[in-house]
Amino acid sequence: MEPQTDDTASFGFGLADLWGLARVHRNLMALVFLGAIVLVMGGTMLITPEYKSTATLHLTMPVGQEVGSTAEAVSDRMLVGRNVYVRTQIEIIKSEKLQQKVFERYGEAGYLPDPRVPSAASLLPHIGAWMRPETELVDVWVIHTDPQRAAALANLIAEVYREYSLDATRDAAQDARTWLEEQIVTYGERIEELDAAIVAYQREHDLPDAVQRVTALGAHLEALKQRLAATRTEATVLASEVEAHERMAKAGVYEELANSMGTPLVGALTNVYAEAMAKGVALAARYGEKHPERVAVQALFERIRDELQAEVERNIEADRATLQVLRATEAELAEDVATANATLLEQQSVRDGYDRMRAEIDRSKHYLTKLSQRKDELDMLARTQLHNARIIELAKPPGGPFRPDLVSSAAFATVLGLLAAIAAALLAEYLDDRLLAPEDIQRHLGVPYLGYIPTLPPEPTTKTPALFTHEYPNSVTTEAVRAVRTMVELGAGGTMPRRLLITSALPREGKTDTSARLAIAFAQANRRVLLIDADLYSPRQHRAFGIPDRDPGMVDLLGGAHIADVVRRTDVPGVDLVTAGSGGVHVKELLGSQRMEEILQEAEQLYDLVLLDTPPVHLTADPAILSRFVGGIVIVVRWQTAPRAVVRHAIGTLKKVGAPIVGVVLNATTGRAFRGNAYYSNRYPYRYGYGQSEDGDDAEDQTAAK
């Protein structure tokens, strides 16, 4: 049978659990908390008081601008560079070179010797500076054990830096002035050179008439281009007509060719030709082809046709001659256009050279004006504001120490104490190897938790502690045992095993009383139960049930006795007992023999349930040997006693041999059993036993050690 686990169980850790942890370890946490406060506050009181004094400077970014820059560009650069400039000045304030001058002035003021400031380098760790956000204000502070010296040093640092800034500004202004003067001279000389060069250029190229020449050449070139375009068009049209006429002449259609020419002579000849043709046709029709008039008209017709053909040929030749003239004229005009265009480009190049020289002179004059303006601005600044650092507020001796800060130290001590107390409680909880709560069973042992059995109250009387649940069937302890009985039945997967083994990891866990109480609980459920005391090393079941001796018993059964000869009747209805007998140490090897199986089979025929009370796992190998004869194993663990590592090892030993572990019973618990966990303390807020007050602690189990 595989061990059953509760997959629905979930144990978190929240504020309520932290409160429960604090209640359990309240003494340790209080000690650690007070110790942390004493340590921090004691150390704070031992610190030598130090005083912080602050002087305030206003650092203005230099109002400089490059020549040719626009006002918008200068403004953007000033906004971007302000923070960088101020941070740079802060580094200068904290530099060793500046502090050397401060140290010298500090000695001249009569403050040396100073144990805190024996040298300029020793001053550096005691000073600092920072820029106020979104401003140009810088606070320079000094920390010293003497408030007067702290203020004096802060004021000296501010004054020395102001003088340094003034000297640096003057040097920069002088350098800028020198550079501007050099640039003004350079640009002046350049302008003079350009003026001389442009005059020579004008003389060389007769520049005053250049504009008129360019205009005239442009107009002439435009006219030539128009004539060239017209000539090309006329030549193209004429060439097309000549080509068409030649094609018609070659085909012999002179009449059509004559009609297309449209000249006066050709037109007259065409008319005569048409009349002669019409007259000849009429005569031929009237008198015939041989008639004298018809012959005369035919001769006239042929003469007119020859003259018409000759005239057409002369017109075609004239058109050819005209086309040649047009082609020649076109070529001449194209050459004239090219010549005029080259001349115009030459004149324009001369004009462009003049314009470039003029533009260079204008640029040089513009830069010269800018340089002169910048020089005037620099002179104005030299007479009005020569430095960028002003002392806004002098440092004053502080009224109280900067550190130690008792309020901050107290707050820090409180937080540290709380964290240390919680850490100590968690560490104590981690180092505590005991099984204190049900979740420890499932979390650390990996087996099901079957339930708890509380300690017995001291008031009621009973024959033996094991019979308490029989004599007080309505007690809380009895109900707890019944709950364990139910969990054993459910933990068996719905099929209750007929053979059940009860054991523990170590002695004094209370397994004897737990075995007896479980036997009574199953008997109260109308089952016939046989309880066998298989602990041959330290048998106690006969005492638990008030039986004076233990013979005969288990040893006799192993030796061959019949079960009916050794069974003892108890005062509990439904529960019979087989005591251990005597001389068990010598026959323990028989526990794993076939005889043991025969004994259990014979017991199953007579009883509904067989319970075996065995020795602890770490004492002997008997539980592991007997595990193969049973259907389930219940392990008893004493609350706040058994180390979980030992119990885990015992469970591992049983698992190695395939033992069917049903679960673990937490024995001898009190009202404190679940107090450390908020979940269980809220679920089980009551106390166990009879006659207990709300705040009283229960007694320990008197028989847990039996």
Confidence of residue 616 (pLDDT cuts 50, 70, 90): very high
> Is the dihedral angle over the CA atoms 280, 282, 286, 288 positive or is it negative?
positive
Per residue in 168-220, pLDDT (tens digit) is 777 767 777 788 888 888 888 888 888 888 777 777 766 665 556 667 777 87
Lowest-confidence pick of 152-156, 457-461, 479-483:
457-461
Confidence of residue 46 (pLDDT cuts 50, 70, 90): confident
Assigned token pair, 94: 């904290």
Q: Report helix, strand or coil for 307.
A: helix
Three-state DSSP string of 340-406? HHHHHHHHHHHHHHHHHHHHHHHHHHHHHHHHHHHHHHHHHHHHHCCCCEEEEECCCCCCCCCECCH
- Is the omega angle on the peptide bond into residue 457 within 30 degrees of 0, that is, cis? no
Q: Report helix, strand or coil for 636.
A: strand
Q: In what order do the strands lie in the sheet with 575-578?
A: 449-454, 661-669, 632-638, 499-504, 609-613, 529-533, 575-578, 568-569
The separation between the first and the last C-alpha atoms of the chain, rounded to the nearest angstrom, is: 30
Lowest-confidence pick of 31-40, 226-235, 558-567, 592-601:
226-235
Q: Judge whether 637 and 665 are in contact, CB under 8 Å.
A: yes
Residue 1 has pLDDT above 50, yes or no: no
Per residue in 505-555, pLDDT (tens digit) is 999 989 999 999 999 999 999 999 999 999 988 899 999 999 988 889 999
Confidence of residue 252 (pLDDT cuts 50, 70, 90): low
Confidence of residue 623 (pLDDT cuts 50, 70, 90): very high
Q: Which residue has the higher pLDDT, 259 or 581?
A: 581
Q: How does the average pLDDT of the chain come out, rounded?
A: 79
- Report the pLDDT value the prediction gives residue 94, as an integer from 0 to 100: 87
- 391 vs 386: CA distance, rounded Å: 15
Per residue in 400-446, pLDDT (tens digit) is 888 887 888 889 889 998 999 888 888 877 777 677 677 777 777 88
Those residues whose C-beta lies under 8 Å from the C-beta of residue 94, and which sit 6 or more positions away, are 124, 127, 128, 129
- Report the pLDDT value the prediction gives residue 681, as an integer from 0 to 100: 43
Give the DSSP H or E segment for 613: strand 609-613
Q: Does domain 446-454+475-683 have CATH number 3.30.750.24?
A: no
Report DSSP state, residue 319: H
Burial status of residue 289 (CB atoms within 10 A of its CB: 0-12, 13-18, 19 or more): exposed
Residue 412's identity, in one-letter code, is F
> Is the dihedral angle over the CA atoms 26, 30, 31, 33 positive or is it negative?
positive
Using alpha carbons, select from 592, 664, 589, 667 the residue that is nearest to residue 630: 592
Residue 26 has pLDDT above 90, yes or no: no
Q: Which residue has the tokens 């500090």?
A: 106
Those residues whose C-beta lies under 8 Å from the C-beta of residue 267, and which sit 6 or more positions away, are 258
158 C-beta neighbours (distance < 10 Å), count: 27
Using alpha carbons, select from 66, 63, 59 the residue that is nearest to residue 91: 59
Using alpha carbons, select from 469, 422, 455, 492 the residue that is nearest to residue 668: 455
Residue 50 phi/psi, 5-degree rounding, is -125, 145
- 105 vs 100: CA distance, rounded Å: 9
- Is the omega angle on the peptide bond into residue 552 within 30 degrees of 0, that is, cis? yes
Lowest-confidence pick of 368-382, 613-627, 658-672:
368-382
Residue 385's identity, in one-letter code, is Q
Residue 315 has pLDDT above 50, yes or no: yes
- Report the pLDDT value the prediction gives residue 384, as an integer from 0 to 100: 55
**Mean pLDDT, residues 37-66:** 81
Query: How much is the pTM?
Result: 0.47
Using alpha carbons, select from 567, 545, 547 the residue that is nearest to residue 556: 567
Q: Judge whether 706 and 544 are in contact, CB under 8 Å.
A: yes
